Structure 1
Amino acid sequence: MGAAFFPVLFFTAFWACIGIGVPMMTPKGPHQSLLRCIMMLTAATCWLFWLCCYMAQMNPLLGPKLSRHAIYMIAKEWGNELKDG
């Protein structure tokens, strides 16, 4: 599975709108700049988390490849005798 252009573009635009649009709607007050900073950082970290999860699916980690001998040893230790067949 390779990276598709549309999902990356769509979610980048979505989180850009959140990161730019929501801070513009913060109420006036002494902490307005702090609230804007929080909203922009939240949008940026949510986008980055999504991007990392999306990219991790492109090259998934697979479990270890065990030899037949190792599988039989593990089964014997766990009390699940396997039959040769």
Structure 2
Amino acid sequence: MGVSVVPIAVFTIFWAIVGIVLPFVVPKGPNRGIFQVVLMLTAATCWLFWLCCYMAQMNPLIGPRLSNHTVLLIAREWGDPLKTG
């Protein structure tokens, strides 16, 4: 799996709207500053979490664990039988 620009761009634009545009739309009130900070921090942390999860799938550190029987069965079914013994 390689890098695709489309999902990165879509999610970056979405979280940029949440973190940059929406704080300007918060209605005036005594807690306006808190709501603005909450929106900005939420956008930043959610985007960073999503990016880390997306990048972790590109080159996983742990692969599937297969038993010897499963490996031999897969090799036989794919037409490249392994020599045992």
Unaligned runs of 5+ in 1: 69-84
Q: Give me the TM-score of the superposition, normalised by structure 2.
A: 0.68
Root mean square deviation of aligned Cα: 2.3
Provide closer, same or farther for how the CA distance between residues 10 and 64 of structure 1 changes in structure 2, counting only shifts above 3 A: closer
Q: What is the distance in 2 between the residues matched to 1:64 and 1:6?
A: 28
Residue of structure 2 equivalent to 1:7: 7
Q: Give me the TM-score of the superposition, normalised by structure 1.
A: 0.68
Aligned length: 68
Which letter does structure 2 place at the counterpart of 1:21? V
Residue of structure 2 equivalent to 1:35: 35
Unaligned runs of 5+ in 2: 69-84
Runs of 4+ with >2 A deviation:
63-66
Residue of structure 2 equivalent to 1:71: none
Residue of structure 2 equivalent to 1:44: 44
CA apart distance, 1:14 = 0.9
Rg larger for: 1
Q: What is the distance in 2 between the residues matched to 1:33 and 1:21?
A: 14
